[in-house]
Amino acid sequence: MRKLLNLLRGRRARLENDLDRELRYHFDRRVEDLRAEGRREDDAGKQAAIEMGGIEQVQEDVRETWTLRWLDDAARDARYAARSLGRSPGFTVTAVASLAIGIGASAAIFSLLDQVLLRLLPVKQPERLVLIDWKGKSLSDNRGSYNLMSYPICRDLQRQDRFFDGVLCRHPTEVYLAVAAGQTPELVGAEIVSGSYFPVLGVSPALGRLLDEDDDGQPGAHPVVVLSHAYWLKAFGGAPDVVGRRVLINNFPMTVVGVASATFRGIDQPNGGAEVRVTSEPCARS
SS3 label, residue 257: strand
pLDDT per position as a tens digit, 67-114: 656 566 667 777 777 777 777 788 778 878 888 888 888 887 766 655
**Phi, psi dihedral angles at 7 (to 5 degrees):** -80, -15
DSSP one-letter code for 121: P
The model carries a pTM of 0.54
Average pLDDT score, the chain:
76
pLDDT of 4 above 80: no
Q: Could you state, in order of their start, the residue ranges of all structural domains in the chain?
A: 2-87, 127-285
C-alpha 222: how far from chain center: 39
- Beta carbons of 132 and 160 less than 8 angstroms apart: no
The β-bridge relationship of strands 186-193 and 205-208 is unpaired
- Name the residue among 213, 232, 201, 184 with its Cα closest to residue 127: 201
Q: What is the CA radius of gyration of the chain?
A: 37
Task: Say what percent of the chain tops pLDDT 70.
Answer: 70
Burial 98-136 (b: 16+ CB within 10 A, else e): eeeeeeeeeeeeeeeeeeeeeeebbbeeeeeeeeeeeee
Neighbours of 36 (CB within 10 A): 9
Q: What is the pLDDT of residue 164?
A: 79
SS3 label, residue 248: strand
**Phi, psi dihedral angles at 230 (to 5 degrees):** -65, -40
**In degrees, to the nearest 5, what angle opens at C-alpha 255 toward C-alphas 252 and 259?**
125
**Phi, psi dihedral angles at 22 (to 5 degrees):** -70, -45
Q: What is the pLDDT of residue 220?
A: 59
Task: State the Cα–Cα distance between residues 168 and 266, nearest whole angstrom.
Answer: 13
**Phi, psi dihedral angles at 262 (to 5 degrees):** -65, -30
SS3 label, residue 40: coil
Let me know if 191 is exposed, middle or buried by CB neighbors in 10 A (0-12, 13-18, 19+). buried
Mean pLDDT value across residues 255-259: 94
Task: State the Cα–Cα distance between residues 135 and 144, nearest whole angstrom.
Answer: 15
| Amino acid type, 192 | I
